[in-house]
Structure 1
Amino acid sequence: MPHSALIHSLPPLGFIAVDVHFHRPPGDPFNALTWPFPLIKEQAEGSKLGQIVTKDSYPEGFLDRFVEAGQRLASKGCVGIITSCGFLAMAQPVLASRLPIPVATSALIQIPSIRSFLPPQKSIGVITYDGTRLGPLHLSQLGISAEGIYIVGAPDDGYLRGVIRDGREYVHDEIEAELVRCAKELVEAHSDVGAIVLECTQMPPFAMAIQQAVGLPIHDVYTMGKWFYSGLVRRDEWPT
């Protein structure tokens, strides 16, 4: 069977999108070309950026819209669900308890496994869309202690936030340069960092450049999504 036909024959992964619109190149989880399996998207109605990127708990009515989107994805045959913002770690317990299929809301979910990969004296760095708002409450909703985790944000006046928040023109090289700077500053400030997690779902297209710059393992929603799906749909690829 041709590779493209094999991909389309697989059961789909669901994607809860939020009401934010800008360029999404391959590598961004919103783009179906990113994934080696089918992707079905449903938007959580009324889910604006300012409501999602917050340091406070989400109101129940807001979460209901994500549950409804997840239920629509389940009804379309999706085997699992991911979301379009790492800040939705705050919604993980509610969505996991109310949806009929597995859900992984944030790249941050990988932190416990990454910790186990590293020597005990090593810490984890997180690069996020907004370093003033991502914090211990998000981690606690995933059962993660904030100890040994350093969080830094993309520049408030930078290209990445300008694209997502203000509809600024998408310039790949400019976003890449500012995220590489963030990573370098992170490891210069904290020499014990042994791996980096990219919270923002728009960051995977720059993960390779970040890794080349700092020489550390880099995890993001793309690494999470592939690992998540590999357990949902087993495909044994060794010779028989």
Structure 2
Amino acid sequence: MCRTLYRTSAIAIFASTTSYAFAHVGIATSPVYAGKTQEIVLSVPHGCSQTVDGVTTAYDTLRVEVQIPETLTSLRPLDTVFGNATLVKNEAGVITKVIWTKPDAANKGGDTHHYWLPLRAKVNAPTFTKVYLPTVQYCKNNNDEEISTPWTAISDDHDHSSTSTENPAPGFLAYPVRTKGWNKYKAPDHLHDMSIFNDAEIVWKGAAGYSANTNTTALIQADSKYSVLSEIHPDEEFWVKY
């Protein structure tokens, strides 16, 4: 998957900056399953903000451009109350970008609304891998000039020392298909963030277990035969109960 970075042009180089302090653009759907076709919803909780001469003003979102990774296929976007969706394709006819555009007449002026932008696609990513959808949202300031906020940074989960100040790209973890009860999996990579199993009753590997439930964790800790599971190494088999 290609990573494309966007840069926001300064409206007035010496007097104006664009702020990205608002809540993240993200994926509202969870869990998302590998190998399945399902609806994936992009959440846009805020618009763009711009600081001029020390005064920050927030503006309504008018356009959202979302890069589509190769792991999402058979994609169909949904038109919404925000606006209609258009598709951008490469020479091979593969969808590479979805653009939702709001009519200028629907511009609310200020940053007052939260928007949902849904699409339906098949997720062809390997299980327990992250799928990113780099996104840029566009607004217009009071001078009718276009400003933008990029959400395009793709992090390496193993880079714990990263100090990047770029806005993170929306993304989701591709979970394996599950059934109620016990499910047996094999780790394709190092799984060190056990919070990805917070919706499970318990995760078990060998004599170690993990649960987001503090009472269950206390029971594991109270028995000297067992330990709290903190990570799973590549190719290790483990059990998850949902």
TM over 0.5: no
Please state which band the TM-score falls in when normalised by the shorter chain: under 0.3
Q: Comparing both structures, which one devotes a greater share of its residues to strand?
A: 2
| Higher CA-based Rg | 2
**Normalising by structure 1, what TM-score?**
0.26
